[in-house]
Structure 1
Amino acid sequence: MNRLLRASIGLWSLLFAANMTASAQGLAAARSLAHQGKIDAAIAEAQKVTSATPQSADAQELLCKLHGSIDQFDEAIAACEAAHSAQPGNAAYTLELARAYGAKADHAGPFTGMRMVGRIRDNFEGAARQDPKNVDALSDLGEFYVNAPGVVGGGLDHARQLVSQLKPLSPARAARLEGMIAAKAGDTTAADAAYGRELAVQHSAEAYVDLANYDRKRKLWDQAEQNAVLAIQQDGARGPDSIDAARVLIDMKRNSAAAEKALRGYLAHEQVSAVAQYARAHVMLGQLLQQRGDNAGAEDQFKQALALAGDYSAARKALRK
């Protein structure tokens, strides 16, 4: 090998190493901003990484979560597709892709939603296949089977098969899935018992949120309110469960004081999730204040949301109103 060729290879190696170091630093900066709920700034940093290294699956997955947190469904899907294409065997990326498709389907019309069901199912099943011990993948797949019609691959028999798979990994998630199956089948007694088991094995805010949603579907408003409040009280970390419990109360137009406390608690605490939902919490709090007639307070909350995520359509629409 001549000297010129050796020098060229050495220079290329140095440039490659420098690029990888810069990408790692950029991804760390993007993650830090996402952790703080600074969506616009985090997206900008993550896009710098993907521009320099398009095959950075980690950066693409973060972009997927960032866009999804402010309901930018198409952008989230594109980023998740890129992450999945870079590492098609990664269960975490496959699961996020399924969730991104599911989020868009939930907000789309019935025809668009039905066209996407196959992709949602395939990716949920793919994630569970790639990592049979992934509790989130198994739980999400089970929920899909419960809610999707048989003609598109849903069905309670499929969901029941997952219960035994979940039990040794997470007895609480297995009990919740049993509760969903029983409720869908119209067996209220069995559903009550299953949700009771979930609470018994995992006395957590998440279990109380599950109970609150179950009660709300049955129009047991007092019980739903009680369990949502208990979820807020149980959530010492003031994390996503507080937001979910507040949503239950807001949707039922009950106990706005408890919902406000939950949202303010969430906003006041540092979050451990990959992407803090501060922008969403600000919008929810603003809508709550607006219902009370506190338009100035509501406007301030919507503006704080837009300061974090300028393209958040829910905040823009709320501010216009």
Structure 2
Amino acid sequence: MKLLLSFFLIFPLLLSSQSFEKGEKLFVEGKFNQAQLVLENYLKSNPNHLKTLEYLGDIAGQNKAWDKSISYYKKLENLKPTEANYYFKYGGALAMKSLEVNKIKALGMIGEVRSSFEKAIALNPKHIEARWALIELNLQLPAIVGGSESKAIKYSSELRELSPVDGYLSRGHIEEHFNRNTEAEVQYKRAILIGGSKVCYQTLADFYKNKMKQPDKANKVWEEYKNKNNKGIK
């Protein structure tokens, strides 16, 4: 009798756990709509489950449902205010939302976007993505509302200390933004020399093709990448 009672007490918990694992598997497989249904159902009985909230926030972001995404990430911040990634994701969703509202309302959101990324760095001084986000924010905003080339360069310099490849790529991005194309090319080539990843080559190839309108140079970059890979150099 005791064993039977224990089974009935534990069985709902087992089903609940399986429900989350199923939702997580669907999420990892990129089946976001299916994952959303499973995870939303799981959340009804587990309203403070961090990973479920994060997955649902990510799915909402994939669907550009920024209000829902913001809501999930904000709840995560409240539940675990020491997790840097929650602030980074909240700031990112808020930034995307600001692109869809009128300019006056968007300007009112910028301070919270910036402070969210800065909070992520304060909680995790090695947070690379938050620095990239702050670089882009400082490049895109006019100086009158807080945009700053010097701040963008500061975060790029910090990136170079943490990840030299990211440092050179981000500095190249800054130089390209201000049409200092010779220096941008130098920075992208430095990233290739120390990183050699597909991302590094693609960045330089895209720069030649889209910015410099030199498709032949872009093709040579890809040929170099393919030749190195064929020789076993990753």
Q: TM-score, normalised by structure 1?
A: 0.60
Q: 1:105 to 1:207 in 2, by over 3 A?
A: farther
What is the CA distance between 1:171 and its match in structure 2? 0.8
What is the CA distance between 1:84 and its match in structure 2? 1.8
Alignment partner for residue 50 of structure 1, among 32, 43, 56? 43
- The answer to whether the Cα contact below 8 Å between 1:61 and 1:83 also exists between their aligned partners in 2 is yes
Mind listing any 5+ residue stretches in structure 1 that lack a counterpart? 1-10, 237-321
Q: Deviations over 1:69-104 (max 9, x none)?
A: 122222222222222221122111111111112222
Count of residues in correspondence between the two structures: 222
Q: Is residue 2:175 matched to residue 1:152?
A: no
Question: How far apart in 2 are the matches of 1:24 and 1:33?
Answer: 14
Question: How far apart in 1 are the matches of 2:191 and 2:47?
Answer: 42
Q: Show the counterpart of 1:38.
A: 31
Question: How far apart in 1 are the matches of 2:70 and 2:44?
Answer: 17
What is the CA distance between 1:147 and its match in structure 2? 2.3
What is the CA distance between 1:231 and its match in structure 2? 11
Q: Show the counterpart of 1:141.
A: 134
Q: Is residue 2:163 matched to residue 1:195?
A: no
Q: Is residue 2:115 matched to residue 1:122?
A: yes
Question: How far apart in 1 are the matches of 2:183 and 2:82?
Answer: 37
RMSD of aligned residue pairs (Cα, Å): 3.2
Superposition map of 1:181-220 within 5 A = 181-215=174-208, 218-220=211-213
Q: 1:164 to 1:28 in 2, by over 3 A?
A: same
What is the CA distance between 1:230 and its match in structure 2? 6.7
One-letter amino acid of the counterpart of residue 123, structure 1: S
Question: How far apart in 1 are the matches of 2:191 and 2:147?
Answer: 23
Question: How far apart in 2 are the matches of 1:230 and 1:137?
Answer: 33
Alignment partner for residue 93 of structure 1, among 74, 86, 89? 86
Q: Deviations over 1:258-286 (max 9, x none)?
A: xxxxxxxxxxxxxxxxxxxxxxxxxxxxx
Q: 1:180 to 1:19 in 2, by over 3 A?
A: farther
What is the CA distance between 1:107 and its match in structure 2? 4.4
Mind listing any 5+ residue stretches in structure 2 that lack a counterpart? 230-234
Q: Show the counterpart of 2:62.
A: 69
Q: 1:167 to 1:56 in 2, by over 3 A?
A: same
- The answer to whether the Cα contact below 8 Å between 2:87 and 2:116 also exists between their aligned partners in 1 is yes
Q: 1:28 to 1:232 in 2, by over 3 A?
A: farther
What is the CA distance between 1:233 and its match in structure 2? 6.5
- The answer to whether the Cα contact below 8 Å between 2:139 and 2:147 also exists between their aligned partners in 1 is yes
- The answer to whether the Cα contact below 8 Å between 1:67 and 1:75 also exists between their aligned partners in 2 is yes
Question: How far apart in 2 are the matches of 1:166 and 1:193?
Answer: 17
One-letter amino acid of the counterpart of residue 148, structure 1: L
One-letter amino acid of the counterpart of residue 139, structure 1: W
What is the CA distance between 1:43 and its match in structure 2? 0.6
Q: 1:156 to 1:22 in 2, by over 3 A?
A: farther
Question: How far apart in 2 are the matches of 1:156 and 1:30?
Answer: 43
Q: 1:222 to 1:61 in 2, by over 3 A?
A: same
Q: Show the counterpart of 2:159.
A: 166
Q: 1:71 to 1:224 in 2, by over 3 A?
A: farther
Q: Is residue 2:74 matched to residue 1:81?
A: yes
- The answer to whether the Cα contact below 8 Å between 1:49 and 1:56 also exists between their aligned partners in 2 is no
DSSP 3-state at the match of 2:81: coil
Q: Show the counterpart of 1:268.
A: none
Q: Show the counterpart of 2:232.
A: none
